[in-house]
């Protein structure tokens, strides 16, 4: 019985990670599309006044057609690429659910810390920003996971947020990520990357 309740609860969470498009007015949809278009242009902008040496040096930092194709293969490949992650962040902001990627990134950084003092300080910051009830960027977690994190704050270790991080990753992988891959933003990125590839 408990397992079936957990399943229903996790299914409900999958639909609440972001605002639904129907909750936005048409004006806001137009505004957010304009905002992400401007951010993507900035992300992809190549300065024509740069020297050829600088262009060659910077080219590896801009997404290629192969990069954008790989992003569609898995969320892991998307997040492991600097521009893929940046594009996904822009998309999540346009859907008003950037707290998920911000929490996931904070957890990745947290797991690299080694000193107990740093772990304790960062653990409290993450808890205050993302976990506690009414946190400024509260993520959607069940009571059991939130409680386990609260208990671990007394003696934090690099895996203190691992269960929550996995839940948020799964939420993004099953919900936000497929929407990103089918979004206008992703199609524009692919088209821009293909265009640059043909130009060289």
* pLDDT reported for residue 37: 59
Residue-wise pLDDT tens digits, 73-118: 999 999 999 999 999 999 999 988 899 999 999 999 999 999 999 9
Classify residue 62 by burial, with Cβ atoms within 10 Å: 0-12, 13-18, 19+: middle
CATH class of 65-195: mainly alpha
* pLDDT reported for residue 109: 96
Per-residue pLDDT of the chain (200 residues; tens, 9 = 90+): 433 333 333 333 434 455 444 444 444 445 555 565 565 655 555 433 333 334 344 444 578 999 999 999 999 999 999 999 999 999 999 988 899 999 999 999 999 999 999 999 999 999 999 999 999 999 999 999 999 999 999 999 999 999 999 999 999 999 999 999 999 999 999 999 888 655 54
| pTM exceeds cut of 0.85 | no
* pLDDT reported for residue 8: 36
* pLDDT reported for residue 40: 60
């Amino acid at each position: 019985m408990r397992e079936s309740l957990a399943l229903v609860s996790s299914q409900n969470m999958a639909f609440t990670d972001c605002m639904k498009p129907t909750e936005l007015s048409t004006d806001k949809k137009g505004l957010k599309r304009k905002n992400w278009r401007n951010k993507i242009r900035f992300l992809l902008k190549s300065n024509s006044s740069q020297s050829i040496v600088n262009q060659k040096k910077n080219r590896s930092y801009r997404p290629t057609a192969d990069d954008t194709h790989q992003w569609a293969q898995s969320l892991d490949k998307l997040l492991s690429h600097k521009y893929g992650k940046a594009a996904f962040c822009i998309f999540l902001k346009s859907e008003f659910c950037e707290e998920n990627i911000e929490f996931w990134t904070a957890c990745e950084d947290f797991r690299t810390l080694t000193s107990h003092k740093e772990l304790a300080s960062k653990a409290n910051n993450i808890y205050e920003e993302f976990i506690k009830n009414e946190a400024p960027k509260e993520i959607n977690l069940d009571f059991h996971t939130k409680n386990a994190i609260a208990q671990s704050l007394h003696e934090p270790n690099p895996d203190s947020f691992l269960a929550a991080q996995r839940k948020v990753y799964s939420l993004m992988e099953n919900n936000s990520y497929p929407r990103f891959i089918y979004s206008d933003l992703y199609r524009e990125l692919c088209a821009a990357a293909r265009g640059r590839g043909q130009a060289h």
